[in-house]
Every structure is written in C-alpha cells, then in structure tokens.
Amino acid sequence: MLRYTAKRAFLALMVAFTVSFATYFLLFLSTDPALVIAGEDAEPDVVAQIREQYGFDRPVFVQYLDWLGGVLQGDFGKSIYWRQPVEDLIISHAPVSLQLALMGVFVTIIVAIPLGVIAAMRPNSIVDRFALSVAISAQAIPNFWLGLMFIILFAVMVPIFPVSGDETWQHFVMPAIVLGTSSVPSVMRLTRTGVLDVMASDYIRTARANGFRTYRLLVRHALRNALLPVVSVLAVQLGAKLNGSFITETIFAINGLGRLTLESIYGADIPTVQMLIFIFALMFVVLTFLSDVLNAWLDPRIRLG
C-alpha cells in the first residue's frame, strides 16, 4: 500500500510540474505581456524597457524556473490587472468556488445515484427508459443556456431563489443545480452499470436464492461494491467543477475563482491566469491521486495488480 501510494504521489507530482510548464509555455507563445502592460499603442522603446524591467526578454525556460521558484516559496507573482499579489486574489475568491463546487457535486449525488440504482433494479422498464432519457438530455443541454432558462423561469415567474450574487446560501441553490446537472449523465450511467454488474454476481444470486429480500441485499451488500467506481468519478468531477464553473459563476454573478480567471483573461493578466490554471490542474491532480489511493485502499486488486 505504501509503495503504491508513493508511486502514485510521484506520478502526480510529475504531472503537476509538466502541466505547469506546458501552460507557461503556451501562454508565453500566445501573447506578449510587455505589450499588454504598456498598452496597444505604446512607443517601441517603452515596450522594450518594460520587457527588460519585468524580465520578459529572458529565455522562456529561465522565466519559468524563476516563476516556479517563487511559487514553491509561496510567492505566486503579482497581478498586472488587479494590482495585488495573486495569492491574495486566490485566497479571497476560493471559498465561494469551493462552496459552489461542493453543492454542485451534492446535487449530482442526490439526483444521479438514486436514478441509477432505480434504473438498474428494473432494467428496460419505464423507469430505466426515463433515467436514460434524462441522461441523454442532460448531456445535450448547453449548460450556460440551462442557467439562463433557470433565471428566466425562477427570477421572473417563480421568484423563490435569488439569481445573482453570492451573499447567502440561497444564492448558491440555482447555480449548484445547473452545475450539478452537467455530471448527472456520467454518474448515473456508471451507477446503473455498477449495480447491474453487482446484482448479476454470484454472491448476490446465492443470497437471493437463500431468500434474502432484494431491497435489503441492495442496501447492505450491492451498493457498497457498485458505488466504488462512482466515488472516484465524483472526486474527479469535483475537480472538474472547480474549474468548469466559470460560466455558471459568470451567469449568476458569483465572484469565485472561475470568474476571476475569466476576468483576468479579458484583462490579459498573464501572471494571474498562469497561476490559476496551474492551481486548477493541481487540484485535479490531487483529487485524482486521493481517489486512486482511496480505491486502492478499498480494493486490494488495484494495488496488487
């Protein structure tokens, strides 16, 4: 187990570094930060001076190592657009995003898992077909459009929840539903397949043949095994929600990390964008690592195989 964990941790670390360099390099190639700071119609010698002052004239690799050294010491760089340290920006915007992502995953869980289980208990029944059409529809709905529909419907016709801002928990209800919907299809399908597989397994058949009630079997024995892969997918979905919420945050005027990234991109604020994308990648890597380790701990076949 320790060996497996160490191996996974090393891989996660490598991936995080590779991703940070790839992002740095791509953003470096795509624009000229000196020109952004100086403004579009600045004199060439002013641009040159800024380039030298900020060190943009050095080779990309040197700049990257410089940046990485800072990050490792807790210095995330200084935002060009917001004119404050990037770490302050991240700390002030993170809680809102985290709350939204957790609530989104919660919505996914309470919709997708029961739906998947019920569908699997009666394969090819009306319930199963209904669950499948929910999955197919949710996959095809543009998420940002769903958000707008909710705003039109609930803000104007049935004003139950506020549709803009992030002051109270009620503000998060509608965005969380919108954000949660996007991962309902995958989690539901996975739950359904998992339960179907387990219910067809020998130990369940034996127990049924011995007269156990199906419902009790499901809750006591089948779900535990069937939901193993679902747990790891949910961890990954949480990571995806943290960075995928930028559209939802924009629509519902929630001042989280996603919206911060978007506005930094519009402001051509490369240090902030670079750091945020790295943070998102890092969170994804960490969550994947945790879910791998959790799975290996729960299922010895993975760590030994």
Binding site for other proteins (CB under 8 A): 11, 14-16, 18-19, 22-23, 26-27, 30-31, 136-137, 139-145, 148-149, 151-152, 155-156, 243-244, 246-247, 250, 258, 261-262, 265-266, 268, 270, 273, 277, 280-281, 284-285, 288
Q: Tell me how far, at minimum, the Cβ of 210 lies from other proteins, in Å.
A: 20
CA distance 273 to 250: 16
Judged by beta carbon, residue 13 or residue 110, the one nearer other proteins is 13
The DSSP annotation for 239-290 comes to HHHHHHTHHHHHHTT--SHHHHHHHHHHTT-HHHHHHHHHHHHHHHHHHHHH
What residues are paired with 78 via a beta bridge? Answer: 85
Judged by beta carbon, residue 173 or residue 285, the one nearer other proteins is 285
Q: Tell me how far, at minimum, the Cβ of 17 lies from other proteins, in Å.
A: 10
Question: At a CB cut-off of 8 Å and minimum separation 6, what does 48 contact?
Answer: 34
Judged by beta carbon, residue 56 or residue 284, the one nearer other proteins is 284
DSSP helix, strand, coil percent of the chain (3-state; round to 5) = 80, 0, 20
Q: Tell me how far, at minimum, the Cβ of 29 lies from other proteins, in Å.
A: 9
Structure tokens at 34: 């000196």
Judged by beta carbon, residue 123 or residue 165, the one nearer other proteins is 123
Structure tokens at 143: 């998420």
Q: Tell me how far, at minimum, the Cβ of 36 lies from other proteins, in Å.
A: 9
Judged by beta carbon, residue 8 or residue 58, the one nearer other proteins is 8
Q: Tell me how far, at minimum, the Cβ of 15 lies from other proteins, in Å.
A: 5
Judged by beta carbon, residue 165 or residue 169, the one nearer other proteins is 165
Judged by beta carbon, residue 32 or residue 87, the one nearer other proteins is 32
Residue among 27, 176, 23 nearest 111 (CA): 176
Q: Tell me how far, at minimum, the Cβ of 152 lies from other proteins, in Å.
A: 5
CA distance 109 to 98: 16
Question: At a CB cut-off of 8 Å and minimum separation 6, what does 111 contact?
Answer: 180, 181, 184, 188
Structure tokens at 99: 């709350």
Q: Tell me how far, at minimum, the Cβ of 208 lies from other proteins, in Å.
A: 14
The DSSP annotation for 92-155 comes to HHHHHHHHHHHHHHHHHHHHHHHHHHHHHHSTTSHHHHHHHHHHHHHHHS-HHHHHHHHIIIII
Question: At a CB cut-off of 8 Å and minimum separation 6, what does 93 contact?
Answer: 255, 256, 257, 259, 260
Q: Tell me how far, at minimum, the Cβ of 270 lies from other proteins, in Å.
A: 8
CA distance 253 to 164: 5
Judged by beta carbon, residue 107 or residue 285, the one nearer other proteins is 285
